[in-house]
C-alpha cells in the first residue's frame, strides 16, 4: 500500500528531491498495474469486494463527506438541488442566501414575482427555466402538501423540476432515507472503476446499488462525488495523488507523477475553498475552507 500512503491526498508529498519522486512513481506503476481487473475476467464476488473496499478507502480519506449545498431545511435543499443543474454547488450556495432571505417558505416563493426571482437566480444560468421550476414546485408544495416537502420518492418526483437524482439527494440528506445520487461525477467514476457499463442514470443506480447494502447508499454517493470533484476529475484525473490507485482499472488515464498530480487537486486537498459557505464543523476541523460569498474576491 505504498501508493495509498505516499500519494493519497497530497497532504504530504514524498520526501527528498527528484530521485525520490521518480522512485515513488516507479513503485506506483509496479504496484498498481496488476491491480486493475481485466474487463471480462472479474467475477461478481470480486467486483463486490473491490467496490466495497474502494468505498471503505474513500471513507477514510473523506470522513467529513457531506452534501455540498447549503441548506437549513428540506425546502431549501430541494430548491438548491434544482438550481444546481448546469452549474456548480458553489454558485448555488452564493445565490440562495438572497433567495431564501426574501422567500423563506414555499408559500412565499409560490407567490413571488417571476421577474424578481429571475434577477436573483441569474448567476446560476438558465435562470428563466429555473425560476419557473422553483416557483412551480413551491406552488405544488403549498397546494398539495401543506407547505411541507414530502418524504416519499413517489411524491417528490411529481414536483416540477424534481427527478430521481434530486429526490434521492433530498431523501438521503433531509430525511435520512438511503438513496444513490447519480450525478455526472458519480457516473464518470463508477464507469472508470468498472462497477457498471450502463450509461442511463436509473440503470447505473440499480446496478451500483446492488453492490452495496442499502444503508450505505447515501454516504457512498458523498464519497464518490467528493472524490470526483477533488481528485478523479473528468479531463485531468490526478492518478498520482489517488488513494485508491491500486484498485482502479483506469489508473494511468491521468497524471501519474505524484508531484504533478498534487498540483491538480481541488478544494481542501489542494488548499482551496470548498463549495459551501456554511460547511459542517467536521469539514472545517479537517482543514476545509468555506467558500466566499457571491461577489467576493
Q: What totals of helices (H) and strands (E) does the chain contain, helices first?
A: 15, 0
Residue 143 has phi, psi (to 5 degrees) of -90, -30
| 85 contacts 253 by C-beta, under 8 angstroms | no
Task: Write down the residue that cell numbers 459557505 correspond to.
Answer: 277
Instruction: State the catalytic residue, choosing from 70, 183, 194, 269.
Output: 183
Grid cell, residue 7, equals 500519494
Distance of CA 72 to the CA centre of its chain: 19
Residue with cell 514524498: 14
Catalytic, 155? Answer no
> 273 has which bridge partners?
289
* Entry field: residues in the chain: 297
Instruction: Map residue 273 onto helix, strand or coil.
Output: strand
| C-alpha distance from residue 234 to each of 130, 192, 237 (Å) | 26, 10, 6
DSSP class of residue 157 equals T
Q: Are 28 and 240 in contact (CB under 8 A)?
A: yes
| Cβ atoms 68, 264 nearer than 8 A | no
- Catalytic annotation present for 183: yes
Judge whether 125 and 86 are in contact, CB under 8 Å: yes
From the list 70, 89, 130, 165, the catalytic residue is 165
- Residues with a catalytic annotation lie at 165, 183
Amino acid at each position: 500500500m505504498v501508493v495509498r500512503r505516499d500519494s493519497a491526498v497530497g497532504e504530504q508529498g514524498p520526501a527528498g528531491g527528484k530521485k525520490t519522486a521518480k522512485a515513488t512513481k516507479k513503485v506506483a506503476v509496479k504496484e498498481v498495474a496488476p491491480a486493475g481487473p481485466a474487463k471480462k475476467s472479474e467475477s461478481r464476488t470480486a467486483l463486490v469486494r473491490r467496490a466495497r473496499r474502494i468505498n471503505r478507502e474513500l471513507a477514510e480519506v473523506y470522513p467529513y463527506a457531506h452534501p455540498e449545498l447549503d441548506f437549513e431545511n428540506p425546502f431549501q435543499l430541494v430548491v438548491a438541488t434544482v438550481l444546481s443543474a448546469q452549474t456548480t454547488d458553489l454558485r448555488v450556495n452564493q445565490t440562495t442566501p438572497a433567495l431564501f432571505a426574501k422567500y423563506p417558505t414555499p408559500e412565499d416563493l409560490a407567490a413571488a414575482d417571476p421577474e424578481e426571482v429571475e434577477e436573483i437566480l441569474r448567476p446560476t444560468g438558465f435562470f428563466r427555466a429555473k425560476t419557473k421550476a422553483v416557483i412551480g414546485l413551491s406552488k405544488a408544495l403549498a397546494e398539495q402538501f401543506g407547505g411541507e416537502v414530502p418524504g416519499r420518492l413517489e411524491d417528490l418526483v411529481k414536483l416540477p423540476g424534481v427527478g430521481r437524482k434530486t429526490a434521492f439527494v433530498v431523501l438521503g440528506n433531509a430525511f435520512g432515507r438511503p438513496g444513490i445520487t447519480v450525478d455526472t461525477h458519480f457516473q464518470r467514476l463508477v464507469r472508470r472503476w468498472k462497477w457498471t457499463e450502463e450509461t442511463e442514470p436509473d440503470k447505473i443506480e440499480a446496478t451500483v446499488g446492488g453492490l452495496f447494502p442499502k444503508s450505505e447508499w447515501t454516504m457512498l454517493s458523498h464519497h464518490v462525488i467528493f472524490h470526483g470533484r477533488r481528485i478523479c476529475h473528468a479531463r485531468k484525473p490526478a492518478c498520482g495523488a489517488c488513494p485508491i490507485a491500486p484498485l482502479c482499472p483506469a489508473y494511468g488515464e491521468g497524471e501519474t507523477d505524484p508531484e504533478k498530480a498534487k498540483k491538480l487537486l481541488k478544494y481542501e486537498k489542494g488548499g482551496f475553498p470548498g463549495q459551501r459557505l456554511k460547511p459542517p464543523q467536521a469539514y472545517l476541523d479537517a482543514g476545509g475552507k468555506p467558500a466566499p460569498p457571491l461577489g467576493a474576491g
